[in-house]
Amino acid sequence: MTSVDLTLPWMSRADRRRWRSARTISDLGELMALWLEGKIASRLGYQPRYGPDDETAHLVPTLAALCRAGYVTTQSQPGLVGTSMDGLWWEQRAALELVVTDPTLFHRLVDAAYAADLIVRINDYRPDGGVQEQPVVVTTCDGEAMTAFGGRISRADMAIQWPGLDRDLYRAVSTGTYVSIIAPEYGGAGEWMWVVLDFLTGQRRHDPADPWASSTPPTRPARG
């Protein structure tokens, strides 16, 4: 008899209870970190019982550290270039989207990103209108734009992204500030962005044996 690896198309009751039990941003960030690390099978707003894409495996420590530092990451991708199996040429920028509700953490993140010459897009849902910045293309296929980070998120999108949350926590994340951080370069040249974020969270510190770990966070590499 041949065994079949069956992935059920719904979240387990145990996972559903865990997400529903979250009451604070810290709770939500910890659950997201556990999902990134493979310790929870499902996350909200994502295909049930699937973990992060294989291409983002090396980003898990950075993303989990951000989640435990008071940010909640919602999507990310590494910097890649290459030909797909169908012969098309794909280019990706390293990119991250997260939600933050603490003004101090928001300014710390944005200041670090601007200081490193990274691209920043802000979408703030304050009652007085906030900021709604334009999206940035982060993936192209044969030179044609395919995906973008940043830009306005509708209320319908928000409901799809955070189904089943505690009402007060949903209000906090749905009215939080969504920040997209994007490397200027396409491909692996933009992967230095994750080092900047590691310095922000304390995930990476000065280590003489680490060529990336200077006494201060890196800035955009100089072009030759």
Whether pLDDT at 6 is above 90: no
Question: Which tens digit of pLDDT belongs to each residue from 14-42?
Answer: 999 999 999 999 999 999 999 999 999 99
Sequence-separated (6 or more) residues with CB below 8 Å from residue 20: 164, 165, 166
Average pLDDT in the 120-132 region? 75
Strand blocks (E) in 69-126: 72-77, 80-83, 89-100, 119-124
Sequence-separated (6 or more) residues with CB below 8 Å from residue 21: 27, 166
220 in any annotated domain:
no
84 in any annotated domain:
no
Whether pLDDT at 207 is above 70: no
Task: Please state the domain count of the chain.
Answer: 1
Q: How far apart are CA 18 and CA 171, in angstroms?
A: 18
SS3 165: coil
* Choice among 109-123, 163-177, 209-223 with the minimum mean pLDDT: 209-223
51 in any annotated domain:
yes
Task: Give the pLDDT score at 215.
Answer: 41
48 in any annotated domain:
yes
- Find out whether 69 and 105 touch, Cβ atoms under 8 Å: yes
Q: What are phi and psi of 134, to 5 degrees?
A: -75, 150
Amino acid code (one letter) for 169: L
Task: Give the pLDDT score at 128.
Answer: 59
pLDDT band (50, 70, 90) for residue 102: very high
6 in any annotated domain:
no
Whether pLDDT at 210 is above 70: no
44 in any annotated domain:
yes
138 in any annotated domain:
no
Q: Which domain holds residue 104?
A: 13-77+94-133+149-201
Q: How far apart are CA 199 and CA 202, in angstroms?
A: 5
88 in any annotated domain:
no
Task: Give the pLDDT score at 98.
Answer: 97
